[in-house]
């Protein structure tokens, strides 16, 4: 991810635009885009600072409060799908995608396990030989 321009540069560009010079002229002089020069001057005029907003940081999980309920629900009904959990959460007031549900379950230590019925076909050495085709008796 790209880094933000320094606050010093932002303040100088914004002050130059607010002093009456055109946005294109200031942008060319400082080597920034016209859009950036105009946005920084607008931010300086509105808030008193052209500084950048904080980048990154911690964002709490949407379903953090529902994690216990989800884990208990999976114990009660182990064949419940992630999509089914998302539907039940919608009934509880949380409109989330199945990906959101899955990320919380994965963080809680659950993993996706395929059922034996859905296993891939093995190599030919692993399979018993197919029986010979019997001839049909009688006229065809």
Confidence band (pLDDT; 50, 70, 90) for 115?
low
For tokens 């914004």, what's the residue?
A: 14
Token representation of residue 91: 């009934």
Over residues 102-129, mean pLDDT: 70
Q: How far is CA 98 from CA 59, 67, 82, in A?
A: 19, 14, 6
pLDDT tens for 26-72 read 999 999 999 999 999 999 999 998 888 877 787 777 888 888 898 89
3-state helix, strand, coil in the chain (%, to 5): 50, 0, 50
119 pLDDT more than 80: no
Buried b / exposed e across 114-138, counting CB within 10 Å, b at 16+? eeeeeeeeeeeeeeeeeeeeeeeee
With beta carbons less than 8 A apart as the criterion, state whether 61 and 104 touch: yes
Domains of the chain by residue range = 7-47, 64-111
Q: Does the reported pTM lie above 0.85?
A: no
> In sequence order, what E strands does the chain have?
none
pLDDT at 114: 59
- At a CB cut-off of 8 Å and minimum separation 6, what does 97 contact? 86
Which of 33, 35, 44 is closest to 8 using CA atoms? 44
């Amino acid at each position: 991810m790209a880094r933000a321009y320094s606050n010093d540069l932002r303040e100088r560009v914004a002050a130059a635009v607010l002093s009456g010079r055109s946005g294109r002229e200031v942008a060319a002089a400082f080597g920034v885009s016209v859009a950036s020069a105009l946005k920084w001057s607008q931010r300086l005029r509105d808030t008193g600072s052209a500084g950048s907003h904080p980048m990154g940081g911690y964002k709490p999980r949407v379903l953090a409060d529902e994690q216990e309920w989800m884990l208990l629900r999976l114990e009660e009904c182990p064949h419940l799908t992630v999509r089914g959990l998302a539907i039940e959460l919608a009934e509880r007031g949380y409109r989330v995608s199945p990906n959101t549900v899955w990320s919380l379950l994965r963080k809680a230590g659950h993993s996706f396990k395929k059922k034996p019925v859905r296993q891939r076909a093995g190599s030919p050495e692993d399979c018993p030989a197919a029986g010979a085709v019997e001839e049909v008796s009688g006229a065809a």
